[in-house]
């Protein structure tokens, strides 16, 4: 569904529902834009969908969000039989290679997932790592706090050198590059790579003039900000 200002558009989605619609997915916050819809919009989406349409809310980046009007939607799950919230250990826990995730969903949905999944879909090692990760609340708090400092810091530095930075509620920023041969996203990618920095290209998401930059360590953020400044001054 086309977005509005790179943000999930509840009205557009509701307008495109047909009798064939069975599932609506929303990534909140979204990747690679970093945008999100607030709790009231999520509730309006659920209220506007038929009862027999499953709403799947992908909250992969939920732990990073610090906005007061954000909500994952657990209340929407509790309120009926047709809403699912999915979570992952791939983001704030940095355990992507272990392939662990979970869902908060009605028992009827869990029953379907249990019948569809492979018999040994989660290894014992992955389960042990997931359990340890959930218990490590200090790690989550430290990672969120780190992101809360360096996300706005990097966004400001990049804006200062003339780049368009989209507001992000996640742990990355989407950056739009100018439309000229020396400063476009392809030139930027080549320049950053020459410095050992590898942003994420977003052409596959329909955003060929942008790159996505993940918030990393302080030294990495300083190195990226310096490189962006040098690139834009060139």
Interface residues toward ligand PLP, by CB under 6 A = 27, 31, 58, 60, 88, 90, 96, 101
Least Å distance, CB 67 to ligand PLP, is 17
Q: Of the two residues 84 and 225, which places its CB atom closer to ligand PLP in the complex?
A: 84
CA-nearest of 76, 79, 81 to 107 is: 81
> The tokens of 63 are what?
């732990």
Q: Of the two residues 101 and 178, which places its CB atom closer to ligand PLP in the complex?
A: 101
CB atoms within 10 A of CB 36: 26
Return left, alpha or beta for 117; rule: phi > 0 is left, psi -120 to 50 is alpha, else beta. beta
Contact 165, 224 (CB under 8 A): no
Least Å distance, CB 86 to ligand PLP, is 7
Least Å distance, CB 30 to ligand PLP, is 7
Least Å distance, CB 139 to ligand PLP, is 17
Q: Which residues contact 111 (CB under 8 A, 6 or more apart)?
A: none
Q: Of the two residues 144 and 200, which places its CB atom closer to ligand PLP in the complex?
A: 200
Least Å distance, CB 118 to ligand PLP, is 15
Q: Of the two residues 41 and 58, which places its CB atom closer to ligand PLP in the complex?
A: 58
CA-nearest of 189, 146, 175 to 33 is: 175
CA-nearest of 132, 134, 41, 25 to 84 is: 25
Q: Of the two residues 144 and 222, which places its CB atom closer to ligand PLP in the complex?
A: 144
């Amino acid at each position: 569904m086309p977005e509005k200002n790179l943000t999930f558009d509840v009205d557009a989605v509701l307008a495109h529902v047909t009798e064939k619609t069975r599932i609506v997915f929303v990534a909140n916050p979204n990747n690679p834009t970093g945008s999100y819809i607030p709790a009231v919009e999520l509730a309006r989406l659920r209220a506007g969908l038929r009862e027999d349409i499953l709403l799947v809310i992908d909250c992969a980046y939920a732990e990073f969000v610090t906005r007061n009007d954000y909500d994952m939607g657990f209340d929407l799950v509790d309120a009926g039989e047709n809403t699912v919230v999915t979570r992952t250990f791939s983001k704030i826990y940095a355990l992507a290679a272990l392939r662990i995730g979970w869902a908060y969903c009605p028992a009827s949905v869990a029953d379907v997932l249990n019948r569809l999944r492979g018999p040994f879909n989660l290894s014992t090692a992955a389960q042990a790592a997931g359990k340890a990760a959930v218990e490590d609340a200090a790690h989550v708090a430290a990672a969120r706090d780190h992101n809360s400092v360096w996300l706005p810091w990097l966004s400001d530095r990049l804006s200062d050198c003339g780049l368009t930075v989209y507001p992000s509620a996640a742990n990355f920023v989407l950056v739009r590059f100018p439309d000229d041969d020396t400063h476009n996203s392809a030139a930027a990618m080549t320049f950053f790579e020459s410095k050992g920095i590898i942003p994420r290209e977003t052409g596959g998401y329909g955003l060929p003039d942008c790159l996505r930059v993940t918030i990393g360590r302080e030294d990495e953020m300083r190195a990226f900000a310096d490189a962006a400044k040098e690139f834009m001054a060139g």
